Structure 1
Amino acid sequence: MAELITIARPYAEAAFDVAKEENKLAEWSEQLTSLAAIASDDAMQAFMVNPVATEEEVLDIFVGVMGTALTNEAKNLLTIMSENKRLAALSDVAELFEQLKAEDEKRVRATVVSARKATVEQKKKLSAALNAKFDADVEISYEEDPTLIAGIKIKVGDWVVDGSARSQLNKLGAAIAQ
């Protein structure tokens, strides 16, 4: 997956630059989401790797499914990705585009995993702290994982804080083993 993200990054950045310049972030977001859905379809994935299928045939399917919702600029992106045999990275392009869009709009997504359900007061404090830390509107999704024993794990993009008891016990165990 890391390889596809590396491949997808320049395409996502180029698409974002064009969308930002034309003030069409929402339109590009919709198109890339739809293109990623098409590329993620099992039958489409099989067709894309079929040696009998030509580049033009694969591209025609994308264009046909998208119809008039596909702008010329997005079609150009598809064409370039097709020529470079990179259509398998469309899902990652869409995901990276959304991250760039969120950063531009000062929105950040966070995942908080806790051993028990967080209280309203805990959620307020955590939200305020993350909003201040990232100087953005942080959208938090909460999950429960009883195997953490106690504490929480917070993930925002590449930034991760693991304050779970399980993590602390693992660190202690490793220190004792040395």
Structure 2
Amino acid sequence: MSAGSISRRYATALIELADDKKLLDKVGQELAEFHALLLENAELRDLLENPSVAVRDKQSVVRELASRGSFSTIATHALIVMIDNQRLDALEDIIREYTHAVDAKKGVLRVVAVASVALNKTHVMKIRYVLQNLTGKTIEIDTREDPDLIAGIRLHVGSLVIDGSIQSQLRNLKHELLTAN
């Protein structure tokens, strides 16, 4: 079974359980917190990935950390199952699949808006308004700066990129000039 389908199966099961308990956001946040902890703490990561450490010892560590973080039973049990099935390395993919599925369920579309300078609230509101009218979805915008764009904006909407930057226009012009001869 491919890693993507495994991640989707875990995410789907988690969504069914979390939705029944009205904990969709909480479970996603808890899994992300645990993943961040793994990224920050090499000692913890090494312990949980070490095949010579007994599964029950790994489970005990996860239960203790989940208890300290006041994790839901659903998130705690999911992490335990991942340890049992040696799937903790898929946690990042599971979180990504979970987030995409929850967003789809809630009608949320996440957009990354990249501009050469920081976008003000008015620009963000206009982008949100246009995209909400086009898609009929709730728009969540993450803004970033990239001085290389010179001017304009690049929107990343899922796998779609809408590039209205000067950098892109110059690149297209260069291509047209080079292919004109």
Scaled to the shorter chain, the TM-score interval is: 0.7 to 0.9
Secondary structure, counterpart of 1:63 in structure 2 = helix
User: Could you state the TM-score of these two structures normalised by the residue count of structure 2?
Assistant: 0.78
* Partner in structure 2 of residue 56 of structure 1: 56
Distance 1:5 1:36, change over 3 A: farther
User: What is the distance in 1 between the residues matched to 2:76 and 2:121?
Assistant: 46
Matched, 1:112 2:113: yes
Aligned residues: 176
* 1:97-156 deviation per Cα after TM superposition (whole angstroms, max 9, x unaligned): 233223322233211111234455543332211111231221223222221122210012
* Partner in structure 2 of residue 9 of structure 1: 8
Distance 1:22 1:149, change over 3 A: same
Structure 2 residues not aligned, in runs of 5+: none
Matched, 1:101 2:108: no
* Partner in structure 1 of residue 43 of structure 2: 43
Matched, 1:170 2:171: yes
Note the 1:56-75 alignment, pairs <5 A: 56-67=56-67, 69-75=70-76
Identity percentage over the alignment? 25
User: What is the distance in 2 between the residues matched to 1:142 and 1:73?
Assistant: 32
Structure 1 residues not aligned, in runs of 5+: none
* 1:22-42 deviation per Cα after TM superposition (whole angstroms, max 9, x unaligned): 332233234323332343332
**Contact 1:114/1:143 (<8 A) preserved:** yes
Distance 1:121 1:75, change over 3 A: closer
Note the 1:80-95 alignment, pairs <5 A: 80-95=81-96
**Contact 2:62/2:80 (<8 A) preserved:** no
Give 1:71 shift. 4.5
Give 1:175 shift. 4.8
Code of the residue aligned with 1:63 in structure 2: it is R
Give 1:158 shift. 2.1
* Partner in structure 1 of residue 17 of structure 2: 18
